[in-house]
Structures are given as C-alpha cells and as structure tokens.
Amino acid sequence: MADRAIHLHDPIFDTAVDSAAIARSLAAALKNEKCDLIFTGLQSDDYGFAQVGLILAEHLALPSATIVMEVQPEEGSVRVKRELESGWFQWVRLPMPALLTIQSGINQLRYATLKGIMAAKKKEIREVKAADLGLTADDLKPSQIIERAYLPEKTKRTEFIEGKPAEAAAKLVEKLRFDARVI
C-alpha cells in the first residue's frame, strides 16, 4: 500500500514523449525521495520500447533488473526472478535501493475494499510542476522522433521444390544463390 503519491502535472510534461525525456522527468521527481524499491512497467508510455525503467535507474544510479516475474524481499536486498528468452528464467539478488521493471501478470489483480478506498482518499498526492523540479522545455526535448510508422509489406512467397533429394537440393541452392541472394 502506498503512503503517498507524486503527480507530475504540467503541460510541459506532455512534450516528454520519448523514453529519455520521461525518465529525466521521473528522475528529477524521485531524486530526493528515500525509496527502497522503485517499480516501473516493462513497456509503458514509451511506445513499447521498454527503456524508461532502465534509463531512470541510470539517472538515479540504482541497480536494476528487467522483465521481473517474481519478487522476494530479503534483509537489505531483493531477490528477483527474471524472464529470459525461450522460456528460461534467471534469479538475481540486488542490493536495495533498486529499480525493477515488472512483467505484466506478476500478481493477481486485487480490488480495493471500501475501507481501502476511504483510506486512499486521505493519502497525500503532491502535485509537481516542471519548474518545481528545475526542468525546462529544453530539458524535456525528445532525443528521437518517429517520423512515420507503417506495417511491413508482405513479400513472403512459398514454393515447393519437388523431385529426388539431390535434384531438390540443387534447385534449393540455386534459388538461395540467385533469387534470394543469401549465399
């Protein structure tokens, strides 16, 4: 349960649309906080690039782990299970404070009770403007610009090569060499 919240609320933050600018904004807001753990989503408001958490950890000089599937707190550290490629997992121990980017589905969704909703209404939500953090429009300029996005054209063509194995292999090599130009 959270004790309080910080709401970055300023029109200037609407221009922070790339991973680096978002991370700079969050780092400025969190640099004086005494957090044991900072959790970010894996792919949040950065067009699915999954970079905000990593850049934020770098700005705050915190150890970090990505694609976290499970968290086990320990004395002065945290043990996390990370998802790797091809269904593999890795257990890592990080000293605290640390930053974790969380994979979706890590926990079962819990709904707030009426008592919890009433308690949340009494929690502090500190609204922070860019000027409060010493940020200007130049500080939050995007370092990348997406000029266009489009679906790739389908150029895949399936062709069956028939015949005896030796003949089929020769035809395949010929197609790979002259048509596909991969050998």
**Do 33 and 93 belong to one domain?**
yes
**Do 32 and 114 belong to one domain?**
yes
- Structural tokens at position 53: 């958490």
User: In this structure, what CATH number is given to the domain that contains residue 21?
Assistant: 3.40.50.620
pLDDT at 155: 77
**Do 121 and 160 belong to one domain?**
no
- Structural tokens at position 62: 């915190």
Helix (H, G, I), strand (E, B) or coil at 90: strand
Instruction: Please state the domain count of the chain.
Output: 2
- Report if residue 167 sits inside a domain: yes
- Structural tokens at position 178: 């002259």
pTM for the model stands at 0.73
For 124, counting Cβ atoms within 10 Å of its Cβ (0-12 exposed, 13-18 middle, 19+ buried), the class is exposed
- Report how far residue 105's alpha carbon sits from residue 157's, in angstroms, rounded to the nearest whole number: 37
**Do 90 and 168 belong to one domain?**
no
- Report if residue 148 sits inside a domain: no
**Do 115 and 164 belong to one domain?**
no
**Do 86 and 116 belong to one domain?**
yes
- Report if residue 122 sits inside a domain: yes
**Do 50 and 105 belong to one domain?**
yes
- Report if residue 118 sits inside a domain: yes
pLDDT at 19: 85
Please answer whether residues 45 and 22 qualify as being in contact, where contact means their C-beta atoms are separated by less than 8 angstroms.
yes
pLDDT at 99: 95
- Report if residue 143 sits inside a domain: no
- Report how far residue 87's alpha carbon sits from residue 102's, in angstroms, rounded to the nearest whole number: 17
pLDDT at 47: 66
Paired residues of 97 in beta bridges: none
- Report if residue 141 sits inside a domain: no
Query: What is the residue range of 168's domain?
Result: 154-183
**Do 88 and 165 belong to one domain?**
no
**Do 107 and 179 belong to one domain?**
no
**Do 100 and 179 belong to one domain?**
no
- Structural tokens at position 150: 């489009």
pLDDT in tens, the chain (183 residues): 678 888 999 888 887 678 888 899 999 999 988 889 999 887 665 667 788 899 999 999 999 999 999 999 999 999 999 988 888 989 999 999 999 998 877 777 788 899 988 988 889 899 999 999 998 888 888 888 778 888 888 777 788 889 999 999 999 999 889 888 888
**Do 37 and 111 belong to one domain?**
yes
